Structure 1
Amino acid sequence: MLQTLYDYFWWERLWLPVNLTWADLEDRDGRVYAKASDLYITLPLALLFLIIRYFFELYVATPLAALLNVKEKTRLRAPLNPTLEHFYLTSGKQPKQAEVELLSRQSGLSGRQVERWFRRRRNQDRPSLLKKFREASWRFTFYLIAFIAGMAVIVDVSGDYWEVGVDSLARWDEATEFGSLLLQPLTISLQKPWFYDMRKVWEGYPIQSMIPSQYWYYMIELSFYWSLLFSIASDVKRKDFKEQIIHHVATIILISFSWFASYVRAGTLIMALHDSSDYLLESAKMFNYAGWKNTCNNIFIVFAIVFIITRLVILPFWILHCTLVYPLELYPAFFGYYFFNFMMGVLQLLHIFWAYLILRMAHKFITGKLVEDERSDREETESSEGEEAAAGGGAKSRPLANGHPILNNNHRKND
């Protein structure tokens, strides 16, 4: 039965256009093609990412937080009360009025004291400012490096000579022999034209050779998203927690499938496009947690512009058009074609959802309406009873409540 399922799963008609088989993608004549077995390395690499992240947050992000004066607000702890603790853990964190009255009788406390206890207990479970800063620092560092690496992979000309044809190879040999490596026609022929000509993405598909830089770019990106999925339960949670899980799963499926089906060129463009705005968001969060209001605002404006351009303009009107229209000019639609574009549609819907939050925040920001983060789980205060003052919480110790969705949030995606 397992063998039958295996055979059905790897049936060529699911993954490849008609009249093509896996045998056509076997390495030969110095050409290397993407293989499903390559992705096994991503799981141990994901675990390695988690280890690297632990030491990064401990020895890099924490000192950086101290340097930027990221301070914690001292929180009053809820006094030990077995009755209220049992209800908190088993029935809910926000009891209704009738439940407050019942708990008041059971615990011997007044209704006001019960409500105060639950406020303090909820605040205890909320992530600390330092934890948020550490996570944002880690994601900022990865996304920035990934974006630079993605650009390097796209414009890299090394190792690409075997894709340019016999005429170009002859000119390569001639140029090498006479020491004229700067010949303009040769330089143009060695670049990746599919970066600016979307039809070139599918030229020769699926018989498209892979270079080492593409391999490592894919392995590292996929490993990172696996690590995000593994750590999502312990990371700071936001109100769009479910959307984040959908995003991570859809991203992992898309990256994996694009590798299986040799959609490597399209996948490289999509990953680089996503990384182009993610590091801006994470840097804005870092400055937000540090209380650098003007810096945070300026970076967020740049992020919003880049996000809208890349996710709502370039992605649907260039990349999605490229994956939906151009392949049909070369081969009939097959299951992989429909599946890939369906998952791209899921990602695009998530982008629209997040763009809505960003634009709504931007409108309030421009009109001067300062609001709390729309995705964050806001910390509750008890200033009316003087408790916050007793806790020693100052204004400088808090992140800015400047209305940035996703900035004060309980967050990589992501992208």
Structure 2
Amino acid sequence: MYDSPWWFDTTYFWRDYPVTDYTKSFKYYYLVQFAYWLQQIFVLQIEAPRKDYKELVMHHINTLLLISLSYCCNFTRVGNAVFVCMDLPDTILALAKALNYCLPGIVCNTTFGIMVVSWLYTRVYLFGCIILSTLTEPDLYVPQFVLHPPSGNWFPYFVKYIIAGLMIGLYFLILFWTLMIFKVIYRILTEPEAKDVRSDD
């Protein structure tokens, strides 16, 4: 994606719609994302429940709907940008959690700090920009809002609002978790042994 025109210009999400010529690796990446989030629903049933169990279920269902719709409706440029926004802080968060067990203290807290910065930039700011693009830019760049599957057009006007609505729902969940992150930061600064506020008590 880094060498794509939509890397820094969201208007390219919508220019030349529908885009149907994907590379194999792009297609595999999309389908692997779908498979990952599908299996995460099953993982939730096996794991010890967290305080945010309901929010996680809503997140996973919302994510699966967004991946499915964006893939079927040829909104994969937008979907790919969302994957990047979500995957970067997830990777750093997983590292911070692992470090919490083997290297607690300054190394773990520094990694957590890097995750917070990446979370705020990618999930709160950039994802917000993507939602804004979804609400405003198709009107400027998509020549016709039609449902015509033979030509790859799966974009009647109401679909924009379905996709945007799901993205806004996901954004509210992100804001909920952002609040939890700030609670962890507060505990790190005020308590000698802070822990994940989602942990089951």
Q: TM-score band (shorter)?
A: 0.7 to 0.9
Quick one: which amino acid aligns to residue 336 of structure 1? Answer: V
Gaps of 5+ in 1: 1-153, 156-190, 379-415
Instruction: Give, in whole Å, the separation in 2 of the partners of 1:231 and 1:312.
Output: 26
Offset at residue 207 of structure 1 (A): 4.3
1:342 counterpart = 2:153: no
Alignment map for 1:33-72 (pairs within 5 Å): none
For residue 248 of structure 1, what is the aligned residue in structure 2?
60
The secondary structure found in structure 2 opposite 1:210 is: coil
The secondary structure found in structure 1 opposite 2:45 is: coil
1:357 counterpart = 2:180: yes
For residue 278 of structure 1, what is the aligned residue in structure 2?
90
Quick one: which amino acid aligns to residue 135 of structure 2? Answer: L
Offset at residue 256 of structure 1 (A): 0.5
Quick one: which amino acid aligns to residue 319 of structure 1? Answer: I
Question: Following TM superposition, where does structure 1 have runs of at least 4 consecutive aligned residues deviating by more than 6 angstroms?
Answer: none
Offset at residue 221 of structure 1 (A): 0.7
Alignment map for 1:4-403 (pairs within 5 Å): 154-155=1-2, 191-290=3-102, 292-316=104-128, 318-329=129-140, 330=142, 331=144, 334-368=157-191, 370-378=193-201
Instruction: Give, in whole Å, the separation in 2 of the partners of 1:353 and 1:246.
Output: 12
Change (3 A) 1:235 1:203: same
Instruction: Give, in whole Å, the separation in 1 of the partners of 2:114 and 2:43.
Output: 29
Gaps of 5+ in 2: 146-155
Structure in which a larger fraction of residues adopt helix:
2
User: Is this contact kept in 1: 2:96–2:108, CA < 8 A?
Assistant: yes
After TM superposition, the score normalised by the length of structure 1 is 0.43
Instruction: Give, in whole Å, the separation in 1 of the partners of 2:174 and 2:186.
Output: 18
Quick one: which amino acid aligns to residue 360 of structure 1? Answer: K
Task: From the CA coordinates, give the structure whose radius of gyration is larger.
Answer: 1
CA-based RMSD: 1.8
Instruction: Give, in whole Å, the separation in 2 of the partners of 1:361 and 1:197.
Output: 34
Instruction: Give, in whole Å, the separation in 2 of the partners of 1:297 and 1:286.
Output: 12
Q: Deviations over 1:368-412 (max 9, x none)?
A: 56554321123xxxxxxxxxxxxxxxxxxxxxxxxxxxxxxxxxx
Instruction: Give, in whole Å, the separation in 2 of the partners of 1:264 and 1:212.
Output: 13
Quick one: which amino acid aligns to residue 362 of structure 1? Answer: I
Instruction: Give, in whole Å, the separation in 1 of the partners of 2:179 and 2:42.
Output: 28
The secondary structure found in structure 2 opposite 1:348 is: helix
Offset at residue 304 of structure 1 (A): 0.9
The secondary structure found in structure 2 opposite 1:359 is: helix
The secondary structure found in structure 2 opposite 1:345 is: helix
